[in-house]
Structure 1
């Protein structure tokens, strides 16, 4: 493997200096891959308009084909951050307009490409904001394969499109998870719930390993509902995880949330070690995972 800068005739962001990641990784076979630290891109999904595709300018790698906004990652930049940054730079996608759903990684050992599939939560019109695009278009999912696709995107499209109907959700029985660890939580129930909430928020933001959800791809960002009851109802909601404040029975609120999400077509996992609640959640159409399953994945306090 060797690292080489762009060749003449292959300009990269001429309005600003090159980033150290803007270089070709060349395999022993001679194949070239853009991005010293790997590359990442966003497949934006709109419920009505389809997916956002980029028609690549002729001088770019596989110019004239259709792909997704993306490019080289910066040094020490996560794939998620790199993909969202490239989406802003190449398609003018406003910050906050997308909610990541899952990521898929092509790992060639010398180079990786991460596709972040993200749902549009604030509608926008894409804008060609750098010289790498001829056009940006919303294309219905059924029509994507009819375009002349970038070979890399073409190879992944079948796998990605098969996952677009999946929308996992997790409902956390906060009282049960807090109570599963004898760490003195009973002295400050609201504080213990708030500390768990911070850890769950960080976990959800970073993404959940696909294998933990029984799904393919690399990491998923499920919708998480954090159900609290009693004294914990007064805790603040400061992260990206929704707090559901049970007005009566916490178990009833958890089941109601599971029923709502299943009714919306979500694949729901309820986190609790309560046997009675497990039976009710399963009857509502949800899977159940234990408190230990969640705690094993959370970052330290």
Structure 2
């Protein structure tokens, strides 16, 4: 629990989006340009905020968050609000997903993040009575904000089921006749660079079978043969800094000592045993059969190259 007292902390100045939006049935929603909240978790649980009585649905527990500013992205808005309300440092976070509730005239985006290092939550304005790290299985025991309560079951599932995407790089590179055989290491390096860009942008939830807008999975790229000589620099230091200091998930480069298929099977099995949902990208029928027998999902190379673009597997 974060022990905080309100003391002399007061209300913040109004921002450009701080106003009510009224629906045709009379319901009111806070935020001219929509709102966003930050669902941050670590080994302690989920960081929740007890809302002050005078606020909308006061006396209930919810996420640090609030109205987005004009032109502000949902991720940036959630980070800003969480920092102002609870002192959450963006550079201690790694993106996991964004989940959007859109009712037409107004939207609310939940930004799911994992804390990569411990930090103390500190009340930053008059909108909070208390901040508390709540174990995931105990969240339901609290009086929750109605909107958060309605979405909590699906959000809880997302927090408890991480996704790893394991890429059969040689198979992806070889799926297009673009001259990759002239420079296999260069083609592998180019693929890694494109994967790094995709790691920043995330993957549309629909392509992963998830009811979220965007999901940021852990990506493992398995290199074999001459492709193993691709330079590390193409991964751009794996997890890179994004908006306001938040980071994308790490890209793991696995250089197979022998056959790439054996490494892919071993990595997939290890990730499954760690509790991840594992998706393997390959068009190799035998490899797909092997990993599916372990409990993995599979997608063909077109699934990935369609997201990365035509240049992703071209030789440099």
TM-score tier, shorter chain, comes to 0.7 to 0.9
Is the Cα–Cα contact under 8 Å of residues 202 and 299 in structure 1 kept in the other structure?
Answer: no
Pick aligned residue for 1:254 from 258, 264, 283: 264
SS of structure 2 residue aligned to 1:20: coil
After superposition, give the CA deviation of every residue in 1:26-64 in whole Å (9 maximum; x if it has no partner).
2233322122221111111223x2211001123322222
1:280 is aligned to 290
Runs of 5+ consecutive residues of structure 1 not aligned to the other structure: 1-10
Deviation at 1:12, TM superposition (A): 5.7
Under a length normalisation based on structure 2, what TM-score does the superposition of the two structures give?
A: 0.83
Deviation at 1:300, TM superposition (A): 6.1
> Paired residues, what number?
287
1:214 is aligned to 209
Superposition pairs for residues 78-157 of structure 1, below 5 Å? Answer: 78-157=73-152
Pick aligned residue for 1:69 from 64, 72, 86: 64
Alpha-carbon distance in 1 for matches of 2:206, 2:161: 14
Between stretches 117-126 and 232-241, larger displacement belongs to 232-241
1:289 is aligned to 299
Pairing 1:203–2:198 present? yes
SS of structure 2 residue aligned to 1:162: helix
Runs of 5+ consecutive residues of structure 2 not aligned to the other structure: 1-9, 240-250, 312-316
1:13 is aligned to 12
Pairing 1:166–2:166 present? no
Alpha-carbon distance in 2 for matches of 1:299, 1:62: 46
SS of structure 2 residue aligned to 1:127: coil
CA RMSD of aligned residues (A): 2.1
Is the Cα–Cα contact under 8 Å of residues 96 and 122 in structure 1 kept in the other structure?
Answer: no
After superposition, give the CA deviation of every residue in 1:79-109 in whole Å (9 maximum; x if it has no partner).
2232223222222122232222222211111
Is the Cα–Cα contact under 8 Å of residues 101 and 118 in structure 1 kept in the other structure?
Answer: yes
Is the Cα–Cα contact under 8 Å of residues 203 and 299 in structure 1 kept in the other structure?
Answer: no
Is the Cα–Cα contact under 8 Å of residues 52 and 68 in structure 1 kept in the other structure?
Answer: yes
Between stretches 196-205 and 261-270, larger displacement belongs to 196-205
Quick one: structure 1 residues 96 and 248, their matched pair in 2 at CA, closer, same or farther if it must change by over 3 Å? farther
Alpha-carbon distance in 1 for matches of 2:17, 2:190: 37
After superposition, give the CA deviation of every residue in 1:251-279 in whole Å (9 maximum; x if it has no partner).
22211111110110111011011222222
After superposition, give the CA deviation of every residue in 1:234-267 in whole Å (9 maximum; x if it has no partner).
3223143221222222222211111110110111
After superposition, give the CA deviation of every residue in 1:183-236 in whole Å (9 maximum; x if it has no partner).
222222222222222222222332222222223333221111111223333322
Alpha-carbon distance in 2 for matches of 1:202, 1:299: 11
Alpha-carbon distance in 2 for matches of 1:145, 1:278: 39
Which structure: greater helix fraction? 2
Alpha-carbon distance in 1 for matches of 2:169, 2:308: 13
Alpha-carbon distance in 2 for matches of 1:197, 1:30: 51
Deviation at 1:299, TM superposition (A): 4.9
1:243 is aligned to 253
Pairing 1:23–2:19 present? yes
Quick one: structure 1 residues 250 and 143, their matched pair in 2 at CA, closer, same or farther if it must change by over 3 Å? same
